[in-house]
């Protein structure tokens, strides 16, 4: 596995998920939905994993799908459980997530990524398919959803949701990484342009409606939020996406604060994990490993006034219980 100092020294290309088995209601891939059987492994630093944290909370799957949180600081063996006593996950009994990968496929040559779902009885990785994982939590795990769980992927709107998510994934979710890890000026400028062109398009869409698709929160909002919440803390400076800060865009800043203040979003965010991971792991970009003190997170709790656009955050459902 490449060391941390390799970030920013070669062209960035996001790997495809190698383990794409699905956990489904009918168990067609050999992994049936079953309360207590699986463990979700996340880093609170990772935007892809943070999607799963938000969805798990919104749907009330905390009791059905247990959670392991990795140290935000990776070493060259990737994600590790050094936040837990004795440096081992208390359920899986492993020190590194790579051990669950090895249990599934000996000698797997690819990277070790989060989010990942591990089968507790066997200790084997089931999936690291970050694009499909949350969709399956929303559509295949419905028997285990809490009463009042929102429909985050409503069938009548799926084509529109998929279309919106595709552009956001390509130009924003992935675009900030293409800019931040660019090793040549032209590649950086192309990615930078893609990021802000898409953000401008999204801001125009959100100027007249509270959420991206329809009048309720959907998977599309979850996917955009996890990038926006990291923007000023990480992507603006560390990844050189500095045309403007999120806090300087009146529409996107209000939209992001609206979601942050919605149960299930802001209460899953850990700015300390986010900043320490990016600034201390990406030594190819930030060789001093100095973590900036700002920005002040208190702005996330200021009034956003998005309620005037209407919308029903949870549709016919209810917010998750406070914690």
H or E segment at 200? helix 185-206
Q: Active site includes 38?
A: no
The Cα 51–Cα 47 span in angstroms is 6
- Which of 307, 316, 234, 319 lies closest to 45 in space, CA to CA? 234
The Cα 276–Cα 298 span in angstroms is 19
The burial of 165, by beta-carbon neighbours within 10 Å (0-12 exposed, 13-18 middle, 19 or more buried), is given as buried
Task: Put residue 78 in one of left, alpha, beta given phi > 0 → left and psi -120 to 50 → alpha.
Answer: left
Please state whether the peptide bond connecting residue 297 to the residue before it is cis, i.e. omega within 30 degrees of 0.
Answer: no
Q: Which of 7, 46, 101, 211 is flagged as catalytic?
A: 46
User: Please, what's the largest Cα pairwise distance for the chain?
Assistant: 55
CB 307 within 8 A of CB 296: no
Q: Is 209 helix (H, G, I), strand (E, B) or coil?
A: coil
The Cα 207–Cα 313 span in angstroms is 17
Q: Which two tokens stand for residue 290?
A: 């100095």
Q: Which of 130, 177, 192, 235 is flagged as catalytic?
A: 177
User: Which residue has tokens 């880093």?
Assistant: 43
Q: Which two tokens stand for residue 219?
A: 């998977």
CB 96 within 8 A of CB 80: yes
Tell whether the torsion through CA atoms of 122, 123, 124 and 130 is positive or negative.
positive
User: Which residue has tokens 């998750």?
Assistant: 320
User: Which residue has tokens 């004795």?
Assistant: 86
Q: Active site includes 241?
A: no
H or E segment at 68? strand 66-69
Question: Which amino acids are annotated catalytic?
Answer: 46, 177
């Amino acid at each position: 596995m490449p060391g941390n100092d390799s970030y920013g020294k070669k062209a960035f290309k996001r790997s495809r998920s190698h383990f794409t088995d699905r956990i489904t209601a009918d168990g067609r891939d050999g992994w049936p939905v079953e309360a207590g059987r699986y463990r979700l492994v996340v880093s609170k630093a990772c935007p892809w994993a943070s999607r799963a944290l938000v969805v798990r909370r919104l749907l009330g799957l905390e009791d059905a799908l247990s959670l392991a949180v990795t140290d935000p600081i990776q070493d060259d063996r990737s994600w590790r459980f050094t936040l837990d006593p004795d440096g081992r996950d208390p359920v899986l009994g492993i020190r590194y997530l790579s051990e669950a990968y090895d249990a599934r496929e000996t000698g797997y040559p690819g990277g070790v990524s989060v989010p990942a779902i591990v089968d507790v009885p066997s200790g084997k990785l089931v999936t690291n398919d970050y694009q499909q994982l949350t969709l399956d939590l929303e559509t295949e795990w419905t028997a285990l959803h809490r009463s009042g769980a929102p429909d985050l992927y409503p069938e009548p709107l799926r084509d529109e949701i998929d279309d919106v998510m595709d552009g956001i994934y390509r130009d924003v979710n992935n675009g900030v990484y293409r800019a931040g890890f660019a090793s040549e000026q032209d590649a950086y400028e192309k990615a930078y342009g893609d990021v802000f062109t898409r953000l401008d398009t999204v801001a125009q869409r959100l100027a007249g409606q509270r959420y991206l698709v329809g009048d309720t929160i959907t998977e599309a909002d979850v996917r955009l939020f996890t990038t926006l919440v990291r923007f000023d803390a990480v992507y603006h400076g560390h990844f050189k996406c500095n045309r403007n800060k999120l806090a300087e865009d009146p529409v996107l800043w209000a939209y992001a604060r609206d979601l942050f203040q919605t149960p299930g979003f802001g209460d899953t965010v850990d700015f300390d994990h986010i900043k320490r991971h990016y600034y201390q792991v990406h030594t190819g970009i930030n060789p001093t490993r100095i973590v900036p003190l700002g920005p002040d997170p208190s702005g996330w709790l200021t009034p956003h006034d998005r309620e005037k656009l209407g919308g029903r955050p949870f549709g016919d459902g209810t917010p998750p219980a406070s914690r």
